[in-house]
Amino acid sequence: MKDSITITKACFDAYVRKDRAAIELLINDEFSFTSPLDNRIDRKTYFERCWPNSEHITEFKFITLAPHEDKVFVTYEGKSTGGEVFRNTEVFTLRGEKIIEVEVYFGWSLPHKAPDHGFLEN
């Protein structure tokens, strides 16, 4: 059985390699994704809205990877094809060897401005 850190790193690696098949194997059918712009969107919407960003990602440098129970807390610095560097923190929740939820933190406020199961337009 793969440990939670290995599974989490594999998700980021799939973005760098542009390997959608690999990330699809890691993400549970009941997956939800939350960020400052997205509030608990489902797996299908995640792949429509978020996966295209993989085209702009060249690397991730992990600052912190901390497992706790069914979660992995990740802070990383990413680099884009345009040379921009960004830092985010994400919380992965796993069930077995599948990712069931990801929360991304980069400046959101509470209560969330997006409607439940919806998102904000850019």
Reported as a single tens digit per residue, the pLDDT across 53-98 is: 999 999 999 999 999 999 999 999 999 999 889 999 999 999 999 9
The answer to whether residue 54 is domain-embedded is: yes
How far apart (Å, rounded) are the C-alpha atoms in residues 49 and 91? 19
Nearest in space to 90 (alpha carbons), one of 1, 9, 28 = 9
Counted domains in the chain: 1
Which DSSP category does 33 fall into?
E
How far apart (Å, rounded) are the C-alpha atoms in residues 106 and 108? 6
Which DSSP category does 39 fall into?
S
Residue 108 has pLDDT above 70, yes or no: no
Residue 38 has pLDDT above 90, yes or no: yes
The answer to whether residue 59 is domain-embedded is: yes
Range of the domain at 12: 4-105
CATH code at 77?
Answer: 3.10.450.50
The answer to whether residue 15 is domain-embedded is: yes
Reported as a single tens digit per residue, the pLDDT across 9-23 is: 999 999 999 999 999
In DSSP notation, 3-22 reads -HHHHHHHHHHHHHHT-HHH
